Structure 1
Amino acid sequence: MTVMSVSVLEGMYAAEAEYFATGDFEPLRSYFAADFVLRQAEGLPFGGVWRGHDGLRRFFAEMSRTWAVFELGEQAFLSTTSPLVVLTNVRARARATGRELEFPILQAITVADGRITEVRPFYWDTAAIAAACST
């Protein structure tokens, strides 16, 4: 994992935290390639394939509708080559039910030319996440 790739991911995670605090998408834009692809598990309330900056903006809006709280905790960078692999512990509270969850996400993240081009998150238990978000 190059210093530049680590720097891109650390900056993106900081911008993501800022988004959840303020709702401002613009700080996130510069970390993602224009043809970016996010592949979320279909069983999640925010599942599906999200493409480009517009898709990413819609994804984050959907995450905000789903979660009242979505905090990234301890992170471990597990890979030194592309795709980068990051294990993140998440603490979240579902907006619809008020249920609180703690769960790990393992993300495979491709970075090229200083921009994130693809993210594939893997959740430990998508059914538990979907159930916590459903009324």
Structure 2
Amino acid sequence: MRKIYFICFLFIFNGLLAQKKDKLYPVTVYEKVWQERNSDARLKMIKIIWLEDSTFEDPSASIKGITAFNNVINEFYKKYPDAVLTSGPKIVKDNYVSWDWKIQDSKNKLLMGGREFARLNGKGQVSKIISFWNKDATLSEADVLRNLEEDNLKVVAKYFESLFKTRDLNTIAFLIEDGAVYNQAEGLPYGGTYKGFNEWSKMFAKSAELFDLQIEKEPVYFSDASKNEVIIYFTINSKSKKSGKTLSMPISEHLELKDGKITSIRPFYYDTKQFAEFLKSKK
């Protein structure tokens, strides 16, 4: 008998969870509506959850209906074309849902924050939205670190592309800090410590005299924003200009950054001695 009661309890519990999840469906669509930049595509989404008597209010607008709501979002993207919206966990009570939200630009600058209150009609549609703005909103420490991590990864990815694919040294010059340090293993023919872009350029030129390379395996990125550090792991296939021989070898590069610029790089070869001998060998 207890087993039957337990099974019934699980059935009811799972049903309640499913009901709660379904209740949030119009809120999920509502958030996607705000993230859609194409007006026609957005209008189709709005019609799923919005009625002609549904209302939206915030400090800048008070409207009713489907088209009017779409126009509010159109005006928003005219003002903030690169806006990125994020939202926090939802609090549900009866047919009301509330949550915090933030808007940042493409450079992760906080534009606006606030809290949303939604009244649902229980049939999968939104009856009313009231949006409160919080001009004193700030990014959490986790948000700051996440934004910093994304920025660092973009810089490092651009460095990798410029060095190993497009061979664009001008872009690299823009990505590195004045006096940035590049530490190459002493056992290599181009080994040593190089400071500043001019020295880096000499090192790149010296290595290019010794071998050609292709990226055999694309990089995997590891990042620690709290330390402003990014590690790249990838594999190169090199062809020695002296011997004509080829060698495949994994490499990891440890990069440090500050204020969106690379301040130091230290590459680690899977077998530095083998790579050095490969470069020095003759036909």
The verdict on a shared fold, with TM-score over 0.5 as the criterion, is: yes
User: Does residue 10 of structure 1 match 2:157?
Assistant: yes
Equivalent residue number for residue 90 of structure 2: none
Tell me the residue number matched to 1:47: 191
Equivalent residues, number: 131
Task: Give the structure 1 partner of residue 250 of structure 2.
Answer: 104
Q: How does 1:16-95 map to 2 (within 5 A)?
A: 16=163, 17-19=165-167, 24-71=168-215, 73-81=217-225, 82-95=228-241
Tell me the distance in 1 between the aligned counterparts of 2:275 and 2:184: 13
- Which consecutive aligned stretches of 4+ in structure 1 deviate over 4 angstroms post-superposition? none
RMSD: 1.5
1:80 Cα deviation after fit? 2.6
Residue 70 (structure 1) shift: 4.1
| Structure 1 residue 79: Cα displacement | 3.1
Identity %: 24
- In the other structure, the counterpart of 1:117 is 263
Amino acid at match of 1:44: L
Deviation, structure 1 residue 112? 0.8
Q: CA deviation at 1:67?
A: 1.2
User: CA offsets per residue over residues 44-100 of structure 1, 9 Å max, x none?
Assistant: 111100110111111110121111234363211123333221111111111111111
Amino acid paired to 2:245: R
Q: Secondary structure of the residue that 1:76 maps to in structure 2?
A: strand
3-state SS of 2:277 partner: helix
- Hey, which of these two has a bigger chunk of helix by percent? 2
CA contact (8 A) 1:99 1:133 kept: no
* Amino acid in structure 1 at the alignment position of 2:206: E
Q: Which runs of 5+ in 1 are unaligned?
A: none
CA contact (8 A) 1:39 1:120 kept: yes
Any idea what SS the aligned residue of 2:274 has? helix
Q: Which moved more, 1:7-16 or 1:82-91?
A: 82-91
